[in-house]
Amino acid sequence: MQSSTTSYALHELCRRVGGNIRGSGDVLIKRVANLQEAEAGDIAFLKGDKYKKHLANTRASAVILTEDAAEYCPVSALVVTNPYLIYARVAEILYPVPLTVPGVHEQASVEVGATIHASASVGAFVFIAASAELGENVVVGPGCVIGDGCKIGAGSRLIANVTLQKNVILGKRCTIHPGAVLGSDGFGNAQESGVWYKVPQLGGVVVGDDVEIGANTTVDRGALSDTVIENGVKLDNLIHIAHNVRIGANTAIAAHVAMAGSTTIGERCTIGGAAALAGHIDIANDVHITGFAMVTKSIREPGVYSSGMPAQRNDEWHHSVIRVRQLEKLMERVKRLEQQLNIEQKGPHLG
């Protein structure tokens, strides 16, 4: 783990992120680390009971933890209610985003008519189309492509090799990681006599403020209306979002999730890795879908939803599959037995 270029006294970090100090507030912090590997000058954090066994032997200068764990901490502690969140804020202080130099790199290609704020930074081998607009303090890293009609809000960062096809609107303070593609054509095809005909994709992509989109994630443009990602959404790497999908504010989606067209996901949802969502369904607010789940129908109520079978020994899985295949025959036998039982219960017919 790299060290910060600046050290901060624990009491200064506390002043900036909140919490209470147990022990000395004068210890200097220059790096974040985990409990097991931390050394002098490091600050670690403890979340839950899983890693509590490492607390007694930590060599960190300070630990971020909750009140109930503070008495077991052998070093200075920053006592808070949400250690992981405060750790993130401390890390932001110790490792600020590097400052960029405003201006357009000489090896960038900017068409006449593009609007670029004087504070924006455009890297080498970037292409910016004539009708694109870059706001204040926007950073476009090397190799990015910004298409016609694209608008990038203030403070947003495209790290490298990001493609925004035409009519992609990014809000403020968004972060788009390398290889992401926004505004690619949706998978729209009509069939006649066994031949596929492409349906033009005429919509765009609208992304709200404070959205993060991971590496190699794709967001298709809408077919007619826009694909919409609302404020505060966090998307992991290698996610596929089809045309006309709408993702509600502050929803988080893990890697390898695929969702078909015209799906609507509510606010504050979480979707675990490798889940799949069918098209034209609605997911309510505050729904949490676990990894590898297959969602084929709308979910109307908040809660946790799961499907799929966890991994097991191959011989056990084989027996389970056999039992599943036998269910149809078993149901037929039960049906026949029920019919026979009904006849016997009715008794002989008396004329």
Q: Tell me the one-letter amino acid at 156.
A: S
Q: Tell me the one-letter amino acid at 51.
A: Y
User: Is the separation of the CB atoms in 150 and 134 below 8 Å?
Assistant: no
CA distances from 167 to 161, 199, 201 (A): 18, 18, 12
Q: How far apart are CA 151 and CA 166, in angstroms?
A: 10
Half-sphere exposure of residue 163: CA atoms within 13 angstroms, side-chain side: 12
User: Is the separation of the CB atoms in 148 and 130 below 8 Å?
Assistant: yes
User: Is the separation of the CB atoms in 176 and 170 below 8 Å?
Assistant: yes
Q: Phi/psi at 175 (nearest 5 deg)?
A: -125, 125
The residues, any chain, with a CB within 8 Å of residue 327's CB and separated by 6 or more, are none
Q: Tell me the one-letter amino acid at 74.
A: P
Chain CA centroid to CA 342, Å: 55
243 in active site: yes
Where does the chain have alpha helices with state H? 10-17, 67-70, 83-94, 314-346
The DSSP code sequence of 286-302 is TEEE-TT-EE-S-B-S-
Of 54, 117, 177, 243, which one is the catalytic site residue? 243
Give the residue carrying structure tokens 């004068």.
26
User: Is the separation of the CB atoms in 28 and 7 below 8 Å?
Assistant: yes
> SS3 for 28?
strand
First to last CA, the chain: 92
Tokens describing residue 303: 């809660």
Q: Which residues are catalytic?
A: 243
